[in-house]
């Protein structure tokens, strides 16, 4: 059907060693999924059910630049493993969950911590703190066939060469198959869905001019400059 206004462009992310890209449908994020990060944010590290929030597909940004957003003086970095789905469904069993994964990438869940904190205190939604423009820098996607299993591997972030965040994927409270299974009980998942799986301890503020180097073993590093 012709459209009454110009149709929005699809969001397509680069795939490592491929001319073809990955089209994005939805973006889900897991909160508090590393015990040490839950503790640093003032929460109990015990295994409570996972909880999710969303960003927008066009918040994903492979450009390598992160524009410091307005209305915040406390914007934090959160390095996360991103999982890209090639198929989906509802109530996916844990032991079938990885069959739905197309690939993986390094990503950043950039957060206006002050706005998120105000929202938490007031019992309001988190979007202003989480789903702002270009709030999810993302690296090149590596197909699961080449990456292998997301069970373990070093995850780390430096800012201007100084180590700020470090952990291992084996410290995820909810593992990737469990995240997919749980999320598929709440929402019908489908090809093009992207899941950010949570951040290890060491989150902190960024400033204009900072250079962030985000790395996960087996994936191309993500280098981002705050502009």
Contacts to Mn ion from residues 56-85, by CB under 5 A:
78
Min CB(133)–Mn ion separation in Å: 17
The smaller minimum CB distance to Mn ion, of residues 59 and 199, is found at: 199
Q: Which residues of 200-211 are buried (b: 16+ CB within 10 A; e: fewer)?
A: bbbbebbeeebe
Q: Exactly one of 38, 50, 76, 109 binds Mn ion (CB under 5 A); which one?
A: 109
Q: How many residues bind Mn ion (CB under 5 A)?
A: 3
By CB under 5 A, residue 199 contacts Mn ion: yes
Beta-bridge partner residues of 52: 30
Distance CA 32, CA 47 (A): 10
Q: Please report where in the chains the tokens 């994927």 appear, as a residue.
A: 169
By CB under 5 A, residue 200 contacts Mn ion: no
Min CB(22)–Mn ion separation in Å: 20
The smaller minimum CB distance to Mn ion, of residues 15 and 24, is found at: 24
Give the 3-state secondary structure of residue 95: helix
Min CB(43)–Mn ion separation in Å: 13
Distance CA 89, CA 129 (A): 29
HEC letters along 100-131: HEEEEEEEECCEEHHHHHHHHHHCCCCHHHHC
By CB under 5 A, residue 55 contacts Mn ion: no
The smaller minimum CB distance to Mn ion, of residues 109 and 213, is found at: 109
Min CB(14)–Mn ion separation in Å: 22
CA atoms 131, 221, 159, 47: torsion sign: positive
User: Which residue of this chain has its Cβ atom nearest to Mn ion in the complex?
Assistant: 109
The smaller minimum CB distance to Mn ion, of residues 79 and 142, is found at: 79
Residue count of the chain: 227
Residue ranges binding Mn ion (CB under 5 A): 78, 109, 199
């Amino acid at each position: 059907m012709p459209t009454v206004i110009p149709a929005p462009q699809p969001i397509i992310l680069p795939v490592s060693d491929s001319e073809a890209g990955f089209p994005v449908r939805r973006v889900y994020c897991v909160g508090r999924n590393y015990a040490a990060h839950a503790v640093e944010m003032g929460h109990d590290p015990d295994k409570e059910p996972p909880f999710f929030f969303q960003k927008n597909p066009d918040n994903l940004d492979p450009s390598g630049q992160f524009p410091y957003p307005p209305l915040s003086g406390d914007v934090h970095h959160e390095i996360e493993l991103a999982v890209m789905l090639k198929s989906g469904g509802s109530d996916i069993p844990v032991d079938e969950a990885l069959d739905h994964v197309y690939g993986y990438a390094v990503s950043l869940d950039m957060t206006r911590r002050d706005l998120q904190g105000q929202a938490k205190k007031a019992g309001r939604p988190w979007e202003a703190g989480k789903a702002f423009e270009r709030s999810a820098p993302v690296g090149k996607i590596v197909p699961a066939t080449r990456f292998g299993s997301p069970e373990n591997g070093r995850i780390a972030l430096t800012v201007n060469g100084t180590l700020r965040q470090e952990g291992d994927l084996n410290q995820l409270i909810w593992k990737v198959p469990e995240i997919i299974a749980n999320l598929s009980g709440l929402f019908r998942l489908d090809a093009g869905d992207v899941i950010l799986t949570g951040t290890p301890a060491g989150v902190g503020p960024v400033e204009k001019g900072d250079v962030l180097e985000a790395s996960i073993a087996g994936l191309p590093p993500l280098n981002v400059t705050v502009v």
